[in-house]
Chain A
Amino acid sequence: MCGTEGRRRIERAVQSRGLDHIVIGACSRRVQGPTFERIARELRLGENAVAFANLREGCSFVHRDEPAKAQKKAETILAASVARAAQQSDLKRSRTFLQRSAVVVGGGIGGMSAAEELADAGIEVHLVERQQSLGGYMARLSKTFPTEDCAMCSLAPRLANAATDSRIHVHTLSEVTAVSGPPGELRVRVLHRPSFVSERCVACGRCTSACPVELESDFDFGMAKRKAIGRPFANAVPAGFVIDFRGEAPCRSACPVHTAVQGVVALVAQGRTGDAYELASRENPFPSVCGRICPHDCETECTRGRVDEAVAIAGIGRFIADQVESAKPVAVPTAVYSVRAAVVGAGPAGLTAARELARFGYHVTVFEAQPEAGGALRFVIPEFRLPRELLAAEVARVLAHGVELKAGQRCGADFTVDSLLAAGFQAVLLAVGLQRAGSVPLAASGRPGLATAVELLRSQALGEPIPVGRHVVVVGGGDDAFDAARTCLRLGAESATVACPEDAAELRAEADLVAEALEEGVEVEGGLSAFEIVGAGAVSAVRFRKGPAGETVELPADCVVLATEREIDEEFLSGAPGVRVVAGQIVVDRATMMTERPGVFAAGDAAATGPATPIEAIAAGRRAARSIHNYLRGEDWAEVWEPARPTAEVADADLSTGKPEWRQPMPVAAGPGRRRSWAEVRLGFTADDAVAEARRCVACGGCSECRSCETVCPAHAIDFDQEPWEEELTVGAMVIATGHREFDARRKPPLGYGRYANVITQSQLARLVSASGPTGGELRRPSDGAVPKRIFMLQCVGSRDQTSRGNTHCSAICCLFATVHASLIKQEHPDCEVTIGYTDLRAPGKAHEEYYRLVSTRGVRYVRTRFGELIEEPDKSLRVRFEDTVTGTKAEELFDLVVLSVGLEGSDGTTQIARVAGLQQDAAGFLKEYHPKLRPVDSQRAGIFLAGTAQGPKNIPDTIAQAKAAAARVMSMLSSGFLMTPAEVAWSDPAVCIGCGVCENVCPQGAVHVVDDGIAHAVVESESCRGCGICVAECPSGAMTLGGFSDAEILAEVTARA
């Protein structure tokens, strides 16, 4: 019927009998529908004149063994179609405009070939590629079958052409996120991801040498490492470098000051400790705090923790803090503003803010009540936890920024906030901290043998320690209590007991601190609430209540230390009208850190934003400095609270499953010897330990934001401020050439891929035998770099597979892919034995069979194989058991290298475009064509065409042929001058429509809009409507109808069939 004879019969019938409808009783409408619709159109019967009776697929084909019933069913089907035809009326179509441009998705050889043809025909092409460079899989191959010509040699001119053709607009690092509109005027949204390198890049490569981050090279299929900045190959298009930033590393997100932890670790791994120190001090002026007194949330979030154990970030941080001497001297910032700012309090918050303000370009003066700077770090944290000289060096680096320190000046006594403002300071930051010990209900202070922890620690820090007696009881359970107890031991006490109300197993103090204190001989008594201090004059004991019954317990002591919470000392408030302290905290606006008095800010422990640890005080200092900057400039120049950024996410499957490598333990001085020593307890990593530990980092964030590249780039091309952006392109047509991905051989655990070093894929082998590959073309097996003498190639991995773990299709290229590699190896290493274990050898295609014959004469052994088992030997060679299915014999052989010929399946990019463009995929993820034989490059959506392995497995020549065919289809469509809108579209009757808008909500194309020109009613954009009919079924008023599928048509068919 669909041939010329059938057409002639239809013509004759229509003309001789004056027919107005045709019923075709033949194949499914999906097969030849458009053919008959065109005939009807040409016979001037209009749209919708044909009804189809599916007598073939729908009846005779499936009822071959029941002819009588099939005959009866066929009659019913025909009757139903005739009834339907009677209800079918002509449908309107209109012309649409054609944009003379196209989007080609996918920049492999298929996409490039299509783009080139289209550009040659004068059509503007947007070539959209996800990766950094055009080239796709072909760029990664060594030599191609059946000619054994170099892949790059034939690809490079295509790349150069795409780069230089003015009609081809290359968009790399880009993907299509939405497709809407009718063919001819497709609206394609394209998301551009940032490269973080501007067009100034001259590809000199200095950044790559400077980059400390090593990542698996995707381009080399993981056979080599690459840096986080660079380009995959020398001919890359575009030629510029790209930074592979995958999101903020979780360690950095977890850090209150957002230290670029991964960068610090990477630099240590490279032995660049000086650079690491500078990086660590970029956000945080006190790297010594990291690793010593920081709760290191970074380690909790570490991605490596999902493999075995988190990287010992604190230990590495400590190691680099010790290298402060090797850091470069501070680059003194130039004061760009004449404005002066004052900071009250030289603790971590105050000094951090001072440094940041100096960096912004202000003159900063820090006022400190104590004779030295450092605050709690200097006067509360004992020196066996944080060495004084290290802190002094870091304070000196802060002051080297041009910050003036006025020590021994008390706010409220020696000066006031008012006096500062009067003296010309335009902003004042109160970072006064918590200075006073909390009130003591037990006894008045000043009694001999009674002290608070703050007094004790400060007196020791000032070099005039309070005498502590022989037996000390510390009341309290926080960090201060343990610091005090350990200080007492070092001051000569014979025993020190920490008595606290909470249970000994649930102490508030950090676990490491408690453990170290216990090692030194500190005793802990839990569950005790102190109520009386005994002794006339001098202290003799403390009485506690224990447990719910409240029994009295007495601990003898000649010294009692009360480790109460520290409190704010309100002395600074005198001469600071407008600044209020409520509930022990300075009232501030959380968004700006400003107190109720304009120009006066507060940060740190004393402010109502309430940080608790030194690292959080540092973070608060940074926020305060940014807010003061905004205040002084009168604009929002800096974000006070850093917005959360997307964190890098790594799938479990992408984390190594190799043997666990446990973290380096932190060496600690022996407990008994150190109890009288002021030397630091934790000894820190040696350089070797630190490097070994740093190498455990999995670099989950990609680029670590260490900015080493920025420092060395001579062209100033690095631009970390780039953001992703979207644009909408309006084009006439699209070509989808999104390619394939390889079957993941880890889905077949018996093959050992991913576990055994010497089991690789053909693509990985391609990199090993490629002159531009990681070995420079030298064949080396991964485990030991030896040249393999015996190689086994296993075919059909994940292809022609009836199990649920593989794909059923034949991947078409693998037999020859293995053959070309075997041939290359035999030519280079004639003594190397290569065995190809195949299922069936398939070499269709021009000159393919001849090539296979030629290679088999080169000594490559082809064995028709059923795979049995693969065992790794101690020397990492592989024992393979298989059956020769020609002779029926079983064999067990030893190989140096096993190469898996993994199959092809639809790529992730293919799935993505299928989703956004509404294309269909088959079970293996390949895109479905409109008709497998007759319209092989048309997708199921008009105006979108298919090319290359996105449509199915195929070799390079077939890909190029299909790409050029797709380009030809685009040309024929765009050259037709205009397109007709589809006939089968929805239409709303304005006389019936109630304007409720249900249709507008349910339309998947956004093609329906409710307009109000006096009366609200729905209007369908017929060029965008794809005729699904959801709106019709949802319409409550019955105003909406669908051309070709009206209720009358469907009901006529249903009624006749039932």
Chain B
Amino acid sequence: MPSAARTGGAVAEPERFATEPAADDGERTIIGFFCRECAYAAADATGNARVPLPTTVRSVLVPCTGRVGPLHVMSALAEGADGVFLAGCLEGQCHYREGNLSALDRIAFVQRLLESVGVERERVQMFTMSAADSPRFVAATKRMHATISALPRLERR
């Protein structure tokens, strides 16, 4: 895998759940940028299978996670989202060669940026999956929901 050599970030493992209960201060908002080649297809398959998902997650279709820049992630957080995640193709299976790896680099950059201003890095994450892997998409969504629900609402000044 080329990722280890070139990216500073790490793909989150959707199966590892955060288990803390949600703080009772209203429902969170999570923006998910989904690659049209994989995660968005997995999301559609999830919908067709009528698998229940948390209502906190709102999807934004992108052609490739490589299209998503720090600007988009930071804008989402600035404008009201409590968490942002990218869902792209499996490492080595990007339909545009290495778009997902570029995205991973940028996510790592945004995480460092957030930490430097005192915002929890786990508010921004990246997951990978194949178009066929609806269960992995569900797990990623639920994990993101659990993680963000366990954190307080993102304060803005």
Contact = CB atoms under 8 A, between A and B. Distances in A.
Interface of A: 28-31, 52, 54, 56-58, 61-66, 69-70, 72-73, 76-77, 80, 918, 920, 922-923, 928, 940, 984, 1002, 1004-1005, 1026-1030, 1032-1034, 1042, 1045, 1047, 1050-1051, 1053-1055, 1057-1058
Interface of B: 27, 29, 31, 36-38, 40-41, 43-44, 46-48, 50-53, 55, 58-64, 66-69, 71-72, 75-77, 79-81, 94-99, 102, 106, 130-133
B83 to A, nearest CB: 10
Contact of A29 (B52, B61, B71): B61
17 contacts: A28-B43, A57-B46, A57-B47, A61-B50, A62-B50, A63-B53, A64-B50, A918-B95, A940-B37, A1002-B66, A1002-B102, A1028-B66, A1028-B67, A1030-B66, A1051-B71, A1054-B31, A1054-B76
Contacts of A1051: 71-72, 75
B52 A1045 contact: no
Nearest to B138: A62
A58 B47 contact: yes
A923 B90 CA distance: 12
Given A58-B43, A920-B95, A30 B67 contact: no
A1042 B67 contact: yes
With most chain A CB atoms within 10 A of its CB, the pick from B44, B46, B94 is: B44
Given A28-B40, A1004-B98, A1030-B98, 16 more contacts: A31-B44, A57-B43, A61-B47, A62-B46, A62-B51, A69-B55, A70-B55, A984-B63, A1027-B63, A1028-B95, A1029-B64, A1029-B67, A1033-B106, A1047-B72, A1050-B72, A1055-B79
A62 B58 contact: no
A923 B133 contact: yes
B60 A1053 contact: yes
A985 to B, nearest CB: 10
A1026 B99 CA distance: 13
A58 B50 CA distance: 10
A61 B48 contact: yes
A62 B145 CA distance: 14
Given A62-B52, A66-B55, A923 B130 contact: yes
A1026 B76 CA distance: 26
Contact of B44 (A30, A1029, A1030): A30
Contacts of B55: 63, 66, 69-70, 72-73
A1004 B100 CA distance: 12
B60 A920 contact: no
B144 to A, nearest CB: 14
Contacts of A66: 55
Contacts of B79: 1054-1055, 1058
A1002 B64 CA distance: 13
Given A29-B61, A923-B133, A57 B96 contact: no
B60 A57 contact: no
Contacts of A1028: 63-64, 66-67, 95-96, 99
Nearest to B36: A30
Nearest to B49: A61
Nearest to A65: B52
B58 A76 contact: yes
Contacts of B95: 918, 920, 1028
A1058 B31 contact: yes
Contacts of A31: 44
A57 B44 CA distance: 5
Given A73-B58, A76-B58, A1045 B67 contact: yes
A431 B62 CA distance: 72
Contacts of B77: 1058
Given A64-B52, A1054-B76, A920 B61 contact: no
A56 B64 contact: no
Contacts of B71: 1047, 1051
Contacts of B41: 30
B63 A1042 contact: yes
A1032 B51 contact: no
A915 to B, nearest CB: 9
B106 to A, nearest CB: 7
B131 A920 contact: yes
Q: Which of A29, A30, A1030, A1055 has the most CB of B within 10 A?
A: A1030
Contacts of B59: 54, 58
A1024 B60 CA distance: 25
A28 B43 CA distance: 9
Nearest to A1030: B66
A519 B96 CA distance: 69
B66 A1029 contact: yes
A63 B131 CA distance: 21
B131 A77 contact: no
B149 to A, nearest CB: 14
Contact of B132 (A54, A923, A1050, A1058): A923
A834 B14 CA distance: 48
A920 B81 CA distance: 32
A1030 B64 contact: yes
A107 B76 CA distance: 51
B105 to A, nearest CB: 10
Contacts of A28: 40, 43-44, 47
A950 to B, nearest CB: 16
A36 to B, nearest CB: 14
A1005 B68 CA distance: 19
A180 to B, nearest CB: 12
A166 B61 CA distance: 47
Given A58-B43, A920-B131, A1033-B66, A63 B37 contact: no
A72 B44 CA distance: 20
Contacts of A1053: 60
Given A1029-B64, A1055-B75, A62 B106 contact: no
Nearest to B130: A923
Contacts of B53: 62-63
Nearest to B40: A30
A928 B38 CA distance: 11
Given A1054-B72, A1058-B31, A1058-B79, A1033 B67 contact: yes
B87 to A, nearest CB: 13
Contacts of B60: 1050, 1053-1054, 1057
Contacts of B46: 57, 62
B133 A1033 contact: no
Nearest to B66: A1030
A76 B32 CA distance: 14
B99 A62 contact: no
A1033 B69 contact: yes
Contacts of B76: 1054-1055, 1057-1058
- A-B pairs, top 8 by smallest CB distance, nearest first, are A57-B47, A1029-B67, A1004-B97, A1030-B66, A1028-B96, A1058-B80, A61-B47, A1058-B81
Nearest to B97: A1004
Contacts of B36: 30
A65 B55 CA distance: 11
A1005 B64 CA distance: 14
Contacts of B69: 1032-1033
B50 A77 contact: no
A786 B94 CA distance: 53
